[in-house]
Amino acid sequence: MLTKGEALFAAQGVRASGRKKLPPREDGACPLLGPQGRCMIYTHRPFGCRTHFCAAAGGPYPRKHLADLIQRLDTLDETLDGEGPRPIQSAVADALEEMA
Residues lying near ligand SF4 in the complex (CB under 6 A): 30, 32-33, 39, 41, 45-46, 49
Quote the least distance from Cβ 71 to ligand SF4, whole Å.
Answer: 21
Q: Which is nearer to ligand SF4, 38 or 64 (CB)?
A: 38
End-to-end Cα distance, the chain? 22
* Nearest-angstrom CA–CA distance, 32 and 3: 16
Quote the least distance from Cβ 4 to ligand SF4, whole Å.
Answer: 15
13 and 3 Cβ atoms separated by less than 8 Å: no
Q: Which is nearer to ligand SF4, 26 or 64 (CB)?
A: 26
* Nearest-angstrom CA–CA distance, 50 and 46: 7
